[in-house]
A and B are shown apart, each in its own frame.
Chain A
Amino acid sequence: MSAASSSPLSGPRTAAAPAAEPRTAAGRRGRGPVEWIRAHVLATTSVLVFVFLLAPNVVMFVMSFNAPIGRYNYIWHQFSADAWRHPCAVGDICQHMGLSLEIGVVAMIGSTVLGTMAAFAMSRHRFRARPMVNTLLFLPMAAPEIIMGATLLTLFFTTIGSGSMGFWTIVIGHIMFCLSYVVVTVKSRLAGMDPTLENAAQDLYATPLQTFMKVTLPLVAPGIMAAALLSFALSVDDYIVTKYTAGDQITFPLYVYGAVQRSVPTQIDVIGSMMMLVTMTGIMAMLVVSRVRARRR
């Protein structure tokens, strides 16, 4: 900030002089309700958009304590913690969740390993096919999910037949659409890395392997972690591609989608709230850790 105010570009708003010129936005502030709204229109809009973004999560959490009338948990009736006490009481809901988590872990490991290797190749090397590879990596992110699902179904259907589709075909599809996200995430972390650190390690007689293990990997680790979490979340939450590759397997999203036709038990909201609480705790922990680390430096 001190750099900004000493630069010739800095306007009256950051200038220390108390006599700010009245024509700037700062000078107009506080002259009546219309001006107040004008000054805060951006903040107000942002708050409203945040409400729009977060309302469904709040509603889900509240409705997980509902004792609904009938089979559909859409309308608030009265408080009950029954669903939290027995989250697995409805059908095979926890088995479906277990299957989703299993697929998520396998897809996460697969896509993170392959994608990280590809990210290193893309950010550290210049080679002839690079633009083409870049396009190929970008395309799955840009393709509508239904296209990926429908075309994969056609492939599996014509090669192995619909009878042998299941766990592994789901995993194949999930790794396919997670790969691009992993490459992008790890690549951006590699791009932001200071290359002189690796040179410094080598100047200090570190072997290439030592440089990689002690300098490069720890620096890229947050990017790899983020990519792994992202691909896990994408996999566990996926409906469309899963629907077309699942055969007779039922993952949690497939179960929820099917449930809407028959009944929506409160347990669905309970499991959704659990997912939300776990990810929120994780992200809070990461933010706190990075704050503490930043302060220590």
Chain B
Amino acid sequence: MSAQTANLGVPPAPAAAAESEPPRRRRRNHLPYLLLAPTLLWLVVFFVVPIFTSVSASVQEGSLDQGYALTWRWANFADGWNQYNGQFGRSLLFAFLCTVFCLLMGYPLAYFIAFKGGRWKTLLMALVIVPSFTSFLIRTIAWKTILSDNGVIVHALSSLHILGFTSAIGFTVGNHVLASPAAVVCGMVYNFLPFTVLPLYTSLEKIDPRLHEAGADLYCSPLATWRRVTLPLSMPGVVGGTLLTFIPAVGDYVNAQLLGNPNTIVIGQSIEHEFLQDSTGYPIASALSVILMAATLAIVLVYVKKAGTEDLL
């Protein structure tokens, strides 16, 4: 442990500063702060401070030409909420659906790789991550080809009369899948699935497979073994995976822009729209991002509390 202090090229802290403690301990307590200083400074200046700048900007008034003044105009929040509450609701709904589908698809996959993957585990996990190393915009555009009107998927769904049903509940539009809420959610699930699978795999992989055999020995059906043994043990992965999916999904607007229609506008698009508006949009956009931030934080805190895994944060 003490070796670490000197070997990173950091000059040892003056031992005179700590008279009551032995010099070695003093040095050890100093080094982590020196190592952390650049990272902390970076995160404080470019992550924490901007949040406060935004909060202050959200109660300002003015325009691009005349400049902005801090007038404590709380009405920005009311204006933003009244104008865009539909978009807020849609963002949360899409993110919720995306999280549920990611969990439904990601859990079996992570379970399969962790317990049946054998020596192919690493390769299979690489297959989950490899797509992420190609531009996600291009991959999202590829969904336009897959879901296009004369593609296999649309043909299959419409000949099974599924599209009629989904259109009736407003998930697709007419005989198309593209430019509909269904396409947006599909693109989101696709984009965030690796974020669900990774934490799930990490927690499932730690479970001793002999516990399954113990369950079977004690006359548990495979399903009961999963419900009583595997699921409780994999809860940290479930909570971590759903958080890592839901949080970025709330703010995502690329899928809504590329795969949606004018009726699937989410809050991200509204924020961008307000920022790009030249005159008075800027304080409203800041107010919208503050509301989004507060809402996401509240949902996450309630969820983590309910899930009983506060030590995750």
Chain B residues lying within 8 Å of A279, measured Cβ to Cβ, are 130, 133-134
Report the minimum CB–CB distance from B36 to chain A (whole Å): 5
Encode contact with A along B141-178: 1 for CB under 8 Å, 0 otherwise.
11111101010000000000000000000000000000
Number of A-B contacts (CB under 8 A): 288
Binds A, one of B16-24, B78-86, B229-237, B288-296: B288-296
B14 contacts A by Cβ under 8 Å = no
Report the minimum CB–CB distance from A276 to chain B (whole Å): 4
Does B251 contact A145, Cβ atoms closer than 8 Å?
Answer: yes
Given the known interface contacts A211-B7, A256-B137, the answer about A53 and B32 at a Cβ–Cβ threshold of 8 Å is no
Within the assembled complex, what's the spacing in Å between the Cα atoms of A158 and B243?
A: 32
Chain A residues lying within 8 Å of B211, measured Cβ to Cβ, are 9
A240 contacts B by Cβ under 8 Å = yes
A43 contacts B by Cβ under 8 Å = yes
B93 contacts A by Cβ under 8 Å = no
A146 contacts B by Cβ under 8 Å = yes
Does A283 contact B39, Cβ atoms closer than 8 Å?
Answer: no
Does B7 contact A209, Cβ atoms closer than 8 Å?
Answer: yes
Chain B residues lying within 8 Å of A276, measured Cβ to Cβ, are 130, 133-134
Does B112 contact A45, Cβ atoms closer than 8 Å?
Answer: yes
Q: Which residue of A lies closest to B217 (CB)?
A: A11
Q: Give the interface centre of B49, B194, B300 by most chain A CB atoms within 10 Å.
A: B49
Chain B residues lying within 8 Å of A264, measured Cβ to Cβ, are 141
Chain B residues lying within 8 Å of A11, measured Cβ to Cβ, are 212-214, 216-217
Given the known interface contacts A43-B116, A147-B293, A150-B54, the answer about A117 and B39 at a Cβ–Cβ threshold of 8 Å is yes
Report the minimum CB–CB distance from B218 to chain A (whole Å): 10
Does B190 contact A212, Cβ atoms closer than 8 Å?
Answer: no
Chain B residues lying within 8 Å of A236, measured Cβ to Cβ, are 135
Does A46 contact B112, Cβ atoms closer than 8 Å?
Answer: yes
Given the known interface contacts A124-B4, A239-B254, the answer about A57 and B134 at a Cβ–Cβ threshold of 8 Å is yes
* Majority secondary structure of chain B interface residues (helix, strand, loop or mixed): helix
B268 contacts A by Cβ under 8 Å = yes
Cβ 8 A contact of A60, one of B7, B132, B142:
B142
Does A25 contact B50, Cβ atoms closer than 8 Å?
Answer: no
Q: Which residue of A lies closest to B137 (CB)?
A: A256
Does A240 contact B138, Cβ atoms closer than 8 Å?
Answer: no
Cβ 8 A contact of A154, one of B5, B133, B286, B293:
B286
How many chain B residues touch A (CB < 8 A): the figure is 98
Chain A residues lying within 8 Å of B258, measured Cβ to Cβ, are 260
Does A121 contact B271, Cβ atoms closer than 8 Å?
Answer: no
Report the minimum CB–CB distance from A280 to chain B (whole Å): 6
Given the known interface contacts A9-B214, A54-B131, the answer about A115 and B39 at a Cβ–Cβ threshold of 8 Å is yes
Encode contact with B along A161-184: 1 for CB under 8 Å, 0 otherwise.
000000000001101100100010
Report the minimum CB–CB distance from B16 to chain A (whole Å): 20
Chain A residues lying within 8 Å of B126, measured Cβ to Cβ, are 283, 287
Which chain A residues in 255-280 approach chain B with CB under 8 Å?
Answer: 256-257, 260, 264, 268-269, 271-273, 275-276, 279-280
Given the known interface contacts A121-B36, A272-B135, the answer about A158 and B251 at a Cβ–Cβ threshold of 8 Å is no
Encode contact with B along A219-244: 1 for CB under 8 Å, 0 otherwise.
00000000000000100110110011
Does B247 contact A208, Cβ atoms closer than 8 Å?
Answer: no
Within the assembled complex, what's the spacing in Å between the Cα atoms of A170 and B217?
A: 58
Within the assembled complex, what's the spacing in Å between the Cα atoms of A47 and B59?
A: 51
Which residues in A have some Cβ–Cβ distance to B below 8 Å?
4, 7, 9-14, 23-25, 42-43, 45-46, 49-50, 52-57, 59-60, 63, 74-76, 114-115, 117-118, 120-122, 124-125, 127, 129-130, 133, 135-148, 150-155, 157-158, 172-173, 175-176, 179, 183, 198, 202, 207-209, 211-212, 216, 233, 236-237, 239-240, 243-244, 252-253, 256-257, 260, 264, 268-269, 271-273, 275-276, 279-280, 283, 287, 290
